[in-house]
Structure 1
Amino acid sequence: MTVVQQNTRNIMANKKKPSEKQEFLAQQRREQRRKTAKEEKKKHHKRKIVTTVVCCAAAVAVVAGGITWFVREKPLTQMIPVEKTEHYSVNAAEVSFYAWQIYNSYINSSTGSDSANLPDTEKPLADQNYDNDTTWEAYFTDAAQKYAENVLAYCEAADKENYEFPENISAMVKAAKEQMDFSTLPSSVTQDNVTHALELYFKAQSFSTSVEENMSFTDDELESYYKENAKTMDVCSYMEFSFSYDDSGDSTTISRSEAEELARSLRRCNTKDEFQSWVYDYYAKNTSLTEEDLQSQLSTLYSHNISYTEGDDVSEWAFSGEAKAGDSNLFTDTDNKRITVCLLLDEPKRDESHPVTIRQILFTTNTYESSDGAHSAAEKALEEWNSGEQTESAFAALADQYTEDTTVSGGLYQNITEGQLSSAWQNWCFDATRKSGDVMILDSSYGSCLVYYVEAAEQAGWEMTATNALQNQRYNELQETYQKEADLKSSDWGMRFVTVNNQK
């Protein structure tokens, strides 16, 4: 995880109250507005100053006094270093660029339930509240300041450790700028500002990636971390099926007593095969599902490599230390009128499986109108693959050309653990005979995928979890050290010139 990824994750994931700095700045703005209003009234009856010399002097005076500093806003954004270290600095315009980046990332990455907590993009951010005490404008500008602090701290640390920055940073900046839409960029930000801000970003990113890649931990360190966090790291497997009920008398539903009777019957199944066979017969008797749809439903019964979730009834039971493999239990959810039967297959233990990396090309039934149509499209892509270079990069290019999955580049999915995939993918990806370069068409109810197997990770799942956690710990410690050693100088006054976009 890079410095920017870590910083953005911390900023965006944590919903926190405004800092003392934010509260101070907000109070200063209110006092400034009151002061300006009073002085405007006093000036109303004074004679106008018309000479150029006096006007210039007055302009300097009011800027120094903080009354109408906006008269020279654009040059000041270039002149004032908002964050500064011994060798690096960013001005108000460059911090505005960072704020603009964070804002766009926040808006574009929020989907589903997350989209409810978004500002109105058609209205000024300063007129909308993030919470009771903070506007969205203040939220993003404060985030940008923290972002800039981390970037400068890592650049200083890189110099101190004689780190050699990549020679292609200029090319990276150029490529990044070509992908950006600057239509909403704050008017105070010039292309030179964008270039400088991106240069610093890529330097910080390069060094932080190097730091992370050079972190290593002994087997004893990993084992010690596991022992301290076994409950949250262990995984288990179980079968699960729910009966929904309704006592309203609706002939299309079953009553609670009927659901309880069915649940008790299913609970007598002590193995995976027995459990699955019972549910198969239940579906066949009570529904008109096709065999394909029925098999699809059966695939949802099995939950593999499931970790502990505090407060979840099934999880609390499975990880209690009392439940044994082959035990089953009933869970009644009266709010949602549902009774769930859970059969524990494997007791909690550390994950010894090795996560895998794959690439895939998705063809959906929506686009190709049927399962056969989607499968046929996958077969054509496979023919094209077989007639080409048959390398991973060639498959990635094919994925970029044909896949309907736009969430990843080149169809790449990394470090997939057992339990994350549906049964067909699970069986194929974690087959002991699987080797790099294997290709297969896998079908599902929503379409077909042409899948390329890249590799399995060297570390087991539990080792990877422990390594990532220890990396984060050490990373946070280093980040704190780098910021302290960088001796950052911040300008609260300069932050007054930082904006997010052109909404006024």
Structure 2
Amino acid sequence: MKKHSSSPRDEDINSSSDLSESDLNRDFEDISSITSSEETDSVRTEAVISDVIIPFEKDEVSESNPATPYHAIHFSDSTTPEPEPIPLPLHAFDGIQSLLDDPDFQETPKVQVDGSTRVKSPHIRPNYWINAKYLLIPLAIIACAVLFISVLQIGNFNERLASPLSINGQAVSHSEFSFMYHYVLIENGVDVHASETPIMLAAPGEGEFATNRDFFVDIAAKELQTIQILYDDAILHGYSISDVHVQRANTYVNWLSTKATAIHVDLDTYIKGTFGQNVTRQTIVDSLSKRYFAEDYAAGPKLEELRASEDQAEESYLTSRNQYDIVSYRVLRIIFEQKDQSFISTAHLHAQEIIEKIEHDPARFEIVASEYFSGEARDALLQPDSTLISNVRFGDIDDLEWRIWLYDTNRQPGDCTIFEDEYGFPILVCFASRSRQVEPLRNIRFFYVNEQVEEAFKPGLPAGEVIPMAQTILDSVSDETSVINLETTYADEIQSGIMSAVQSGDTFRGKYDATFDSWIFDPARKPGDKTMIELEDQVVILYFVSISPNPEWFDRVNSFIRMNNYQEFLIEKQNEYPIKLNSEGLKHI
């Protein structure tokens, strides 16, 4: 851009003293008060406008008021000599030319004229970027971002260093492992708050473990490994953690809250003091929800996936029939008050005659045998099936000789034999039948509330508190989850022996007391039923979970096969999910 050095005012301006910024601003403010004589200066004004003022571009003209477009002064960059402009009689602009010559100003002021006699004041755009604060603020933001990213990277790195365990290359957080380690201790009856516990943990361990602590660390690591294997497999098959699992985890946290209240500390403090400084209630909920989910998946969908085929089940049954069959037989003991050998011989003779007379028909056993008795003994024998013992399992027969004879695969109905008692008198046994275990198994949950028996050193509640407590517990049971949660709610009582919880997924007739059988095997029984049964020194709460859709023998065969399949699955997956302990991380557990 060329400067107009031919202006006759250059010498005056250059020779004048430097203008201050305040003077310049004051001159600009006085512009609005200056008026020029239109009559005397019209020629000069027209000359200036025609020479140096051009219209704005189209997009800068207001469409709403096209009659009054603004114009801007443009200085020509052409080398063609320009006519010397006629100075306007605006004495307040005496300092403008020197400002234009000032190299510190990088933009030429533009004067806007709206066609009236009023000259608009120049608008000078300030150079904000020159201010230091506009440079420091972006730099500070960048520095904070870099610092934040660095902290995250360093934090993650430190977390990996602090991790006591990695599974398949993935670090297990310090808090998760710390919780599981102490959870395993508590499950195994270790009082983590006891002063002697550190001594016990530091004591030499068994087998390959240098200390007891190493043993429990190994259990916790393998527990987390199994949970991760099952969790990933469940997610792969479309399953996910449900509200039921979270509810069970929260029940455990609520139980911890009662423990904290008992010693007058807040829950967070109790959790840190029990499971580790990095463990929070959310850590517990997340860890236990995942654990409960994995357990339910393993006991349900996974075992169903690994169940035996019909061919596998039949093959397994034939391989070990004794485990899946039941036998029925009739038994009669012939004895005299006198123990002389002559009486023993007579009894053996009668037994042999009975065997011959029934002619291999077990249904005739009682009728034929009654001929050798009189009075009440005879009347008792005449009752149908009075000597029959039915549905006897292989494991129920203690005497090895009896077991071998009864479970001989060649045994046929009507086969009879004679055993002897401790005096030598005959015990007549007649085989009736052998069959598979066909009655479906029941899944029952039991919760025992024991009565204290001081003479037998049996822990429990005082006699007057047993039934009210049992009734309270029974009223709180609404579904299977609520029964499971009793194990957490009354964990202290269970640990001390006052109460106990048992699940029997393979309940068969005769496994428990006849009082239980009459309720469990009632044809009207259905899932969700519950009851309370009073015994001599305890009250038992029963909850009916389910009845199997399969015959018992198949469930037992299937249980054996699928558990083998399950173990093979875990062993295979354990190779894919190797665990590695980090001694640095374990130092703080």
TM-score with structure 1 length normalisation? 0.51
- Contact 1:236 1:347 (8 Å CA) reproduced: yes
- Contact 1:354 1:460 (8 Å CA) reproduced: yes
CA RMSD, aligned part only?
6.1
2:406 partner letter = A
The offset of 1:466, in angstroms, is 1.6
- Contact 1:439 1:451 (8 Å CA) reproduced: yes
2:438 to 352, 359, 367: 352
Counterpart residue number, 1:175: 251
1:236 paired with 2:236, answer no
1:407 paired with 2:533, answer no
Counterpart residue number, 1:102: 184
Q: Distance in 2 between matches of 1:261 and 1:85?
A: 75
Counterpart residue number, 2:581: 491
Distance 1:345 1:213, change over 3 A: same
The offset of 1:83, in angstroms, is 2.0
1:82 to 155, 160, 165: 165
- Contact 2:447 2:500 (8 Å CA) reproduced: no
1:190 partner letter = V
Q: Distance in 1 between matches of 2:418 and 2:226?
A: 50
Counterpart residue number, 2:409: 321
The offset of 1:479, in angstroms, is 1.9
- Contact 2:163 2:171 (8 Å CA) reproduced: no
Among the aligned pairs, what percent are the same residue? 14
Distance 1:350 1:495, change over 3 A: farther
SS of residue matched to 1:408: strand
- Contact 1:439 1:453 (8 Å CA) reproduced: yes
- Contact 2:165 2:581 (8 Å CA) reproduced: yes
Distance 1:419 1:179, change over 3 A: same
The offset of 1:439, in angstroms, is 8.8
SS of residue matched to 1:165: coil
- Contact 1:237 1:303 (8 Å CA) reproduced: yes
SS of residue matched to 1:179: helix
The offset of 1:462, in angstroms, is 0.2
1:212 paired with 2:299, answer no
Q: Distance in 1 between matches of 2:252 and 2:449?
A: 30
2:317 to 211, 218, 226: 226
Worse overlay, 230-239 or 302-311 = 302-311
Counterpart residue number, 2:215: 139
- Contact 1:157 1:482 (8 Å CA) reproduced: no
- Contact 2:205 2:212 (8 Å CA) reproduced: yes
- Contact 2:163 2:585 (8 Å CA) reproduced: no
Distance 1:261 1:423, change over 3 A: farther
Q: Distance in 2 between matches of 1:204 and 1:460?
A: 27
1:156 to 222, 232, 252: 232
Q: Distance in 1 between matches of 2:237 and 2:547?
A: 34
2:231 partner letter = C
- Contact 1:440 1:451 (8 Å CA) reproduced: yes
Stretches of structure 1 that go unaligned for 5 or more consecutive residues are 1-74, 109-119, 243-253, 286-298, 368-373, 500-504
Distance 1:149 1:198, change over 3 A: same
Q: Distance in 2 between matches of 1:439 and 1:203?
A: 25
2:225 partner letter = E
Q: Distance in 1 between matches of 2:424 and 2:179?
A: 51
1:418 paired with 2:418, answer no
1:479 to 570, 573, 583: 570
Counterpart mapping for 1:80-479 below 5 A: 80-85=163-168, 88-91=170-173, 94-107=176-189, 123-130=199-206, 135-161=211-237, 163-166=239-242, 170-180=246-256, 185=274, 187=276, 190-191=279-280, 193-205=283-295, 207-208=297-298, 209-237=300-328, 304-308=391-395, 313=400, 314-321=402-409, 327=416, 330=419, 343=429, 347-357=433-443, 406-408=499-501, 414-426=505-517, 429-430=520-521, 433-436=523-526, 456-479=547-570
Q: Distance in 1 between matches of 2:389 and 2:186?
A: 39
Q: Distance in 2 between matches of 1:175 and 1:470?
A: 35
Q: Distance in 2 between matches of 1:256 and 1:133?
A: 64
- Contact 2:202 2:211 (8 Å CA) reproduced: yes
The offset of 1:213, in angstroms, is 4.3
The Cα offsets for residues 199-250 of structure 1, whole Å up to 9 and x where unpaired, read as 54245335434323445544333222222332332233568999xxxxxxxx
Q: Distance in 2 between matches of 1:173 and 1:407?
A: 20
Stretches of structure 2 that go unaligned for 5 or more consecutive residues are 1-157, 191-195, 260-269, 356-361, 378-385, 454-462, 490-496
Q: Distance in 1 between matches of 2:346 and 2:182?
A: 57
Distance 1:470 1:186, change over 3 A: same
Q: Distance in 2 between matches of 1:189 and 1:340?
A: 73
- Contact 2:421 2:427 (8 Å CA) reproduced: no
Q: Distance in 2 between matches of 1:122 and 1:256?
A: 68
- Report which structure shows greater RCO (CA 8 Å, sep ≥6): 1
Q: Distance in 2 between matches of 1:463 and 1:480?
A: 25
- Contact 2:533 2:541 (8 Å CA) reproduced: yes
